[in-house]
Amino acid sequence: MTAQLKPDTWTPICTTNDLVPDSGVAAKIDNQQIALFYLPDEHRVYALANKDPFSNANVIARGLTGDLQGKTVVASPLYKQHFSLEDGQCLEDDSVRLDTWPARIEGDHVYISIQ
């Protein structure tokens, strides 16, 4: 069973216990694969598309996080391009951007808003 999509609503995905600090996990909502990154020092979750546009494989959630040139980023585990967690922008290629969704933590739960 995957969670149902409702416009303009926060969809509960998982609990904070499912997240890995400073690292990523993948989730699936309808047919959309989403990478969730948890940065405990910001107490914040970022949600990006899990599909790596350079390899067409669903691997972004398994990349390393960090910061580069002032941006908080994830590096694709396959060919190592960097994507900004904030807006999905690829640092190596201006024309490539991952979809992103608003995400938040409330209590023990993690929610995403998908339009």
Which residues bind to another protein, rule: CB under 8 A? 1-3, 13-14, 18-23, 25-29, 33, 36, 51, 55-59, 62-69, 72-73, 75, 77-78, 80, 82
Residue pair 51/63 in contact by the 8 Å Cβ criterion? no
Ramachandran angles phi, psi of 27, nearest 5°: -135, 165
* Comparison of 34 and 88: residue with beta carbon closer to another protein: 34
Ramachandran angles phi, psi of 106, nearest 5°: -135, 115
* Comparison of 71 and 97: residue with beta carbon closer to another protein: 71
3-state secondary structure of 60: helix
Residue 105: CB minimum distance to another protein, A? 14
